[in-house]
């Protein structure tokens, strides 16, 4: 079987900040999920991402790759972290309400976690301080492996995600004067306040 090398754009590495294998794995997970759903990268809010990564663990860089591939970013409000401590995603097509789950195969993940790269990370060597001779072959490997070696891909299933309604309404906080959007402001004694100012007032 011919394995075509999947390009990981340079900007994705620049956005991520260093070269590591987990970000490219995430990038490929995003591509795999989009292919299964038959969708393109989200330019607006066409897709929604649930990422099962936790707050701090090996290979958590995965999420940056998923965001780069799918366009599901925190800034656009279409990404959510579930904190399960797993390298898996659920990608939802908001138009058709179809979803797919893509997870790293335990066999492949185990090999990655036993790599020299992760051993060095365990010894607190930062990714940018790990020699390119060691990192680049791992990235090449991720680019070349068949997606079925990397991932388990679910059947397409139904999933309804309701995005919160966006607001253009804003107020000046009556305490700090900073602008706060309507849906995140509070009214205390008839006055608009932002959340931090409301908390300060309560602890007074
Ligand atoms: Zn990384
Ligand atoms: Zn305030």
pTM for the whole thing? 0.91
pLDDT value of position 126: 87
CA–CA separation, 151 and 86 (whole Å): 13
Collapsing DSSP to helix, strand or coil, 104 comes out as strand
State in Å: Cα 82 to ligand 1 middle.
19
pLDDT value of position 45: 96
Which residues lie closer than 8 Å to 63 by C-beta, 6 or more apart? 26, 51, 53, 81
Question: Which ligand gives the minimal distance to the CA of 193?
Answer: 2
Question: Which ligand gives the minimal distance to the CA of 191?
Answer: 2
State in Å: Cα 41 to ligand 1 middle.
21
- Residues (pLDDT < 50) of the chain are none
Residue whose C-alpha is closest to residue 157's, from 103, 97, 104: 97
Exposure pattern of 119-135 as b/e (b: 16+ CB <10 Å)?
ebbeeeeebeebeeeeb
Collapsing DSSP to helix, strand or coil, 112 comes out as helix
State in Å: Cα 193 to ligand 2 middle.
5
**What are 1-30's pLDDT values in tens digits?**
556 899 999 999 999 999 999 999 999 999
Residue whose C-alpha is closest to residue 34's, from 68, 64, 3: 68
């Amino acid at each position: 079987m011919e394995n075509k090398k999947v390009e990981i754009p340079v900007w994705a590495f620049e956005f991520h900040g260093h070269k590591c294998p987990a970000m490219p794995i995430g990038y490929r997970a995003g591509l795999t999920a989009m292919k299964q759903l038959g969708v393109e990268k989200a330019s607006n809010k066409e897709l929604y991402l649930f990422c099962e990564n936790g707050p701090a663990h090996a290979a958590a860089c995965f999420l940056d790759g998923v965001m780069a591939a799918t366009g599901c970013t925190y800034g656009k409000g279409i990404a959510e972290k579930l904190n399960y401590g797993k390298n898996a995603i659920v990608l939802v097509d908001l138009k058709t309400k179809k979803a797919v789950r893509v997870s790293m195969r335990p066999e492949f993940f185990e090999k990655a976690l036993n790599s020299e790269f992760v051993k060095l990370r365990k010894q607190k060597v930062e990714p940018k301080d790990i020699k390119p001779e060691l990192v680049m072959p791992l990235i090449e490997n991720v680019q070349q492996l068949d997606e079925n070696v990397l991932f388990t891909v679910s059947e397409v299933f139904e999933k309804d995600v309701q995005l919160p309604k966006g607001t253009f309404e804003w107020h000046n906080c009556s305490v700090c004067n900073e602008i706060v959007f309507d849906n995140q402001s509070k009214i205390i004694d008839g006055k608009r306040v932002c959340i931090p100012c409301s908390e300060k007032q309560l602890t007074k």
